[in-house]
């Protein structure tokens, strides 16, 4: 229960505005893209296949699939202890928690990481969401119950919790 509460509260500490400031300060660093003076054989390859990595300023689809991909990005980041991605995706919820006195996203999630077992962290790195278990409230608000998370470890409301994602500023964010 404590982990779920901390996760929910932490999810409120970092807003999407804070995340944009962070990502804006660090320009993307493509590892294998062609140099500007070389023509690219596949100029649209990056947009054709969705990435599990942070999207930065690129809009993501306002679809159930887009929300699922974003939530899986959060789950994988949680398993890797990738605080930047976790706080970016969970920004609005983390901000609410901070306003309630829990502390900033980065310090709260640092505590949450310590509460997740090594086996659960490993399972989160490859966790998937079963679309059959997702509840679409509106086109811009989707519930992700813990029961929809498929992984090699079991999770309960006390371990992981259920979340609501909302489409804000051209991306999906955990808001509750």
Backbone angles phi, psi at 126, to 5 degrees: -125, 10
The neighbour count for residue 62, using CB atoms within 10 Å, is 13
- Answer with the residue of higher pLDDT: 144 or 18: 144
Least confident piece of the model among 28-32, 66-70, 162-166? 28-32
- Do residues 88 and 19 make contact, with C-beta atoms less than 8 angstroms apart? yes
What are the domain boundaries of the chain? Answer: 2-23+51-174
Q: Which of 169, 143, 14, 2 is nearest to 77 (CA)?
A: 14
The token duo for 143 is 């519930």
pLDDT of residue 34: 39
Q: Is the pLDDT of residue 13 over 50?
A: no
Q: Quick one: average pLDDT of 125-145?
A: 97
pTM: 0.69
CB 159 within 8 A of CB 1: no
């Amino acid at each position: 229960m404590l982990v779920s509460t901390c996760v929910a509260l932490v999810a409120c500490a970092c807003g999407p505005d804070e995340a944009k400031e962070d990502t804006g300060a660090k320009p993307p660093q493509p590892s294998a893209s062609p140099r500007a003076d070389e023509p690219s054989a596949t100029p649209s390859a990056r947009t054709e296949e969705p990435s599990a990595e942070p999207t930065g300023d690129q809009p993501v689809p306002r679809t159930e699939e887009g929300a699922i991909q974003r939530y899986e990005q959060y789950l994988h980041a949680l398993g890797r202890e990738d605080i930047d991605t976790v706080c970016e995706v969970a920004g609005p919820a983390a901000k609410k928690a901070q306003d309630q006195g829990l502390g900033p996203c980065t310090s709260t999630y640092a505590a949450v990481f310590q509460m997740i077992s090594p086996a659960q962290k490993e399972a989160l790195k490859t966790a998937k969401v079963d679309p059959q278990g997702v509840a679409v409230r509106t086109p811009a608000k989707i519930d992700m119950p813990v029961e929809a998370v498929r992984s090699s470890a079991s999770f309960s409301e006390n371990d992981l919790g259920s979340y609501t994602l909302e489409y804000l500023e051209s991306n999906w964010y955990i808001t509750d």
